[in-house]
Structure 1
């Protein structure tokens, strides 16, 4: 039975997945203003919300064959797509409502939006004149949001056969939806890196900035790090930070026979090694986990920790500056949430300082990792 299910899942993946979607990034240099105050952050936020809403609205005119062609898929889940669109519109309206609170200070991209119909109407009418102060941003932003929307729609179209971060299976799964406006949580996946590597640099940098983050570790990498240094060195490495788990190996936990053992084994190691840093959270590699796993996670006292702002900093994707600019654009769009980097990658140690520099005067807050998802 297990072999049959695995073969069925693999067959679906082969049939469903065709050409990969281009990863979206936006050169923030096309935006003519620094995010030098909370009000200027709001101006840029309103602009990105309206531009994404414009793309989302246009996508609703596509029928099933057109969606399959656009997403490069042979099979799509229309119900999941519709559900994602509803969730996106709900969040976009809430975000624009927050972003327009500073319209008295700067009226750029301020329109009367009091309802979902208002937002849809304004998004449909969005157009910048050739002499607009923001005209250089318009076309690159539109291209970014078309690509980013494709990323989201493609994941929804494959859900739940291929699970991802775009939808939750239950209340045991968290993604920062409940955070306050302008509040973000930093997270890092796939570590720890080798002794003296990127994890060392990032944890030290965060401590110097008086910040913390949640590091989701792989059990095998953590055990290797202990063996090649010491338990006390690893405890010092994560001082002031939070440590969750990604399982024993960085592989999908949706069709892996030993997925439960992978999680419990790595969680036990992290908790015993660093009881003061450990948080009972599991970050599924690739966002993939089983639809029927809620009972297991609840029995283990674990929450599934998803994300909604991905840096795409893995090898073969974005460069460090592109990753930082993607994250910043998504921060403007979503205005709160969980940011994911990979602490085994050089891109993360380059992108994070860029991101903090660009947002230093924007009135943002960084969620204490010990308070997240409590």
Structure 2
């Protein structure tokens, strides 16, 4: 399902979709993620918009399931929930940048986009956290967004499986969005939001069913690193020289 036919093709996709120092604008978007899947059912679970008042309960669930996730946090929420953020880092979760106030970046000047990214960057770095990824609010961006993320040494990263948990609040509805259909594999980059209590309440069951369907849970950073390692294998066309 959604996989290149050879390691050479995989290596070419790596060069197109993952960043190399000194090269052009890079995006890890949904089509790119889907083309690069089929890596032993690797599932990167990501959460946007927190941390919030339900995030600690979510961290309890993730800990009980031995799952490490990637959290795309808002700078404003990070200021209000510093201890939760420190707990995330201490428990091995990956923390990434999701802007400061969650605006639509397409409606912002380059200067305001930079401010949104850098303010969150400063909060995270003040806590000893260096984000590797930036996810624009709503998944919306323009050429300036991509350029600014690259200047901050971050990959602009979206998702391939959207729970739409802001819209669907029942467990059955979430599962219908994220569990693989007949003949499909459980894999990809999954989008959830830790600001919704219904999502947090459902995550234990969702993780159990994804695991039963074969998911091997990784952070987004691990997801991309595994792709780089596979592309570096003999016969991959030398793409192992590409660095993140």
In the superposition, the TM-score normalised over structure 1's length comes to 0.48
In structure 1, the residue matched to 2:197 is: 346
The structure that has the greater radius of gyration is: 1
1:205 matched to 2:56: no
Q: Is the 8 A contact 1:212 1:369 kept in 2?
A: no
- Choose which of 38, 50, 58 in structure 2 pairs with 1:191: 50
Cα–Cα, structure 1 residues 332 and 182, in superposed 2: closer, same or farther, change >3 Å? Answer: farther
Segments of 5+ residues of structure 1 without an aligned counterpart are 1-48, 50-90, 98-166, 227-231
- Choose which of 108, 121, 128 in structure 2 pairs with 1:267: 121
In structure 2, the residue matched to 1:308 is: 160
- Choose which of 110, 128, 134 in structure 2 pairs with 1:282: 134
Segments of 5+ residues of structure 2 without an aligned counterpart are 6-16, 19-23, 226-244
SS for the counterpart of 2:107 is coil
In structure 1, the residue matched to 2:149 is: 297
Q: Is the 8 A contact 2:47 2:192 kept in 1?
A: yes
Give the superposition deviation at 1:332. 6.5
Give the superposition deviation at 1:321. 2.7
User: Whole-Å Cα distance in 1 between the matches of residues 25 and 224 of structure 2?
Assistant: 11
Which is worse superposed, 265-274 or 215-224? 265-274
SS for the counterpart of 1:187 is strand
SS for the counterpart of 2:201 is helix
Aligned length: 201
Q: Is the 8 A contact 2:51 2:84 kept in 1?
A: no
SS for the counterpart of 1:371 is helix
1:321 matched to 2:176: no
In the superposition, the TM-score normalised over structure 2's length comes to 0.72
Cα–Cα, structure 1 residues 294 and 223, in superposed 2: closer, same or farther, change >3 Å? Answer: same
In structure 2, the residue matched to 1:242 is: 94
- Choose which of 41, 61, 64 in structure 2 pairs with 1:182: 41
Give the superposition deviation at 1:330. 6.5
Cα–Cα, structure 1 residues 233 and 246, in superposed 2: closer, same or farther, change >3 Å? Answer: closer
Task: Kindly provide the CA deviation profile for residues 204-235 of structure 1, in whole angstroms up to 9, marking residues without a partner as x.
Answer: 21122211001011001111223xxxxx5541
In structure 2, the residue matched to 1:77 is: none
User: Whole-Å Cα distance in 1 between the matches of residues 121 and 219 of structure 2?
Assistant: 21
